[in-house]
Amino acid sequence: MTSRVVVLAVVAALMVTGVGGDAVDARQPHAGDALQRKVLDDLAEFTTWLEENDAQGYIGEVGIPSDGDGRWLRLARAWLADAERARLWVDVWATGEWWGTDYDYSPWVAPEDDRPVSVARPSGELFSADARRTDLRRGVNVSGGEFGAAGSTEDVTDFSNDNPGTYGRDWHYDGQATFDYLAEQGLDTVRLPFRWERVQPRPGGELDAGEVARLTAAVGRAHQAGLGVVLDVHNFGAYHLAEDGRGVRRPIGSPQVSRADFADLWRRLSTAFADVPGVLAYDLMNEPARMPAADGLPPARLWEAASQDAVDAIRATGDDTLIMVAGYAYSHVGGWAQQHPRAWIDDPLGAVRYTAHHYWRLDYGRSYDTEVADAAATGS
């Protein structure tokens, strides 16, 4: 690296310029309102943990509200400055052709349903500016593959491995024009969510050839646009297993869905995708939570053991792909060190990034002022 490039890299690491706002100097202590202090303190818990454990990090989802209140953008500029300083890869949540035009967390939207994503909101403009400036990976979750399925807290649903829905009606992977547009925005990464039940209709069984083909084609479209893909099993630590005509949530570590089943999934996915151009990383599990105490381990330790099993299964195939390992309890940055006192993955290749998510509102749709008041009430 030349001395000029080194200087530019140092300057970039210390300064983030947002859309319609002044540069934020990451060397200065943060002041701001109670919400900004809380958000940045939560992020600091994760980044401090990474530094203490000599580990690398990935924000698989950050939610920047697009409700028109410019204070969210001011917070985003400060947040991106801290993410830069900690050398975090960041994927913002979320875009996709099926989100419609009014989903609050979409930085880019489609002008109509089933049309390519092609319109930038202010949060998208800000994130694009950061992506073009930094040498770190910046991307977006491209939703659709996880649609029409069970949510994070639903225990019994119509959705199951026997009733996964119909492709094109219940779930969807975006087309070439959307990926081309996102690459034009300066992004270099997309996180691609999909469901375990659809890609492997029986725990421990063969992968579904049709869903593998759809995923492979979506990766190919992203790759053609110049984007690296993070494959994301979007299942919240569980599998909805068909029982008596309904889908029953069976977490990893339960008698019905074992740690061995989870490792088997990743052994098979690794075999299917290791040589597919455009696959940047495997995200083992989106937001693991509500897992049991099993195998003599409390839930967070059980997740650590299950994720290690999956890493071992991937490496046993000879696959050297980067692996993203989520934190327990929905991967939230705040409370990370309490869930995980120390880094836990033993990877012979050292090709691992720990994955956290960060949403700044306690619930969808809450105003900035409400969040400030709540943050102040808790002493932030």
Residue 67 belongs to domain with CATH number: 3.20.20.80
The dihedral over CA atoms of 311, 314, 316, 318, expressed in degrees to the nearest 10, equals: -130
Q: What is the mean pLDDT of residues 358-372?
A: 94
Contact status, residue 137 vs residue 127, Cβ threshold 8 Å: no
The pLDDT confidence band at residue 3, using thresholds 50, 70 and 90, is very low
- Asked if residue 12 has a cis previous peptide bond (ω within 30° of 0), the answer is no
pLDDT at 9 over 90: no
Query: Which two structure tokens, joined as six digits, stand for 291?
Result: 């897992």
Higher pLDDT, 151 or 28: 151
Tokens 């049991």 belong to 292
Q: How far apart, in whole angstroms, are the C-alpha atoms of residue 180 and residue 191?
A: 15
Nearest residue to 45 via CA among 351, 327, 368, 352? 327
Token pair of 318, please? 């000879």
- pLDDT band (50, 70, 90) for residue 32: confident
How far is residue 300's CA from residue 293's CA, in Å, rounded to a whole number?
A: 9
Residue 6 has pLDDT above 80, yes or no: no
Average pLDDT, stretch 317-338?
97
**Can you give the pLDDT at residue 12?**
35
Among residues 31, 90, 96, 98, the alpha carbon closest in space to that of 64 is found at 90
User: Which tens digit of pLDDT belongs to each residue from 177-219?
Assistant: 999 999 999 999 999 999 999 999 999 999 999 999 999 999 9
Please tell me the pTM assigned to this model: 0.92
In the predicted model, is pLDDT for residue 23 greater than 60?
no
Neighbours of 177 (CB within 10 A): 16
- Domain boundaries, position 177: 3-377
Residue 109's Cβ-count burial label (10 Å; 0-12, 13-18, 19+) is buried
Closest CA to 355 of 322, 333, 379: 333
Q: What is the pLDDT of residue 114?
A: 83
- Contacting residues for 35 by C-beta, under 8 A, at least 6 apart: 75, 360, 368, 371, 372, 375, 380
∠ CA 273-277-278, rounded to 5°: 95
**Percentage of the residues of the chain whose pLDDT score is greater than 70:** 92
pLDDT for the residue 326: 98
pLDDT digits (tens, 9 = 90+) for 272-300: 999 999 999 999 999 999 999 999 999 99
Domain count across the chain: 1
Could you tell me if 215 and 145 are in contact, meaning their C-beta atoms sit under 8 angstroms apart? yes
pLDDT tier at 361 (50, 70, 90 boundaries)?
very high
Average pLDDT of the residues in 32-49: 97
- The residue type of 213 is A
Lowest mean pLDDT among 17-26, 216-225, 337-346, 354-363: 17-26
**What does the pLDDT read at residue 136?**
98
Q: Is the pLDDT of residue 147 over 70?
A: yes
- CA-nearest of 253, 262, 258 to 312 is 262
DSSP annotation of 173: -
> How far apart, in whole angstroms, are the C-alpha atoms of residue 9 and residue 32?
27
Contact 359, 334 (CB under 8 A): no
The pLDDT of residue 11: 33
β-partners of residue 242 are 247
Residue of 253, 263, 328 whose CA lies nearest to 292: 253
> Residue 31's pLDDT is what?
62
Q: For 118-140, what is each residue's pLDDT tens digit?
A: 999 999 999 999 999 999 999 99
DSSP code, position 97: T
For the stretch 53-76, pLDDT in tens is 999 999 999 999 999 999 999 999
Residue 237 — pLDDT band, cuts 50, 70, 90? very high
Query: Rounded mean pLDDT of the chain?
Result: 92
Is the pLDDT at 112 greater than 80? The verdict is yes
Q: What angle do CA 364, 365, 368 make, to 5 degrees?
A: 110
Q: Give the C-alpha separation, 11 to 46, whole Å.
A: 23
Q: Nearest 5°: phi and psi at 207?
A: -70, 155
Cα–Cα distance, 117 to 103 (Å, whole number): 13
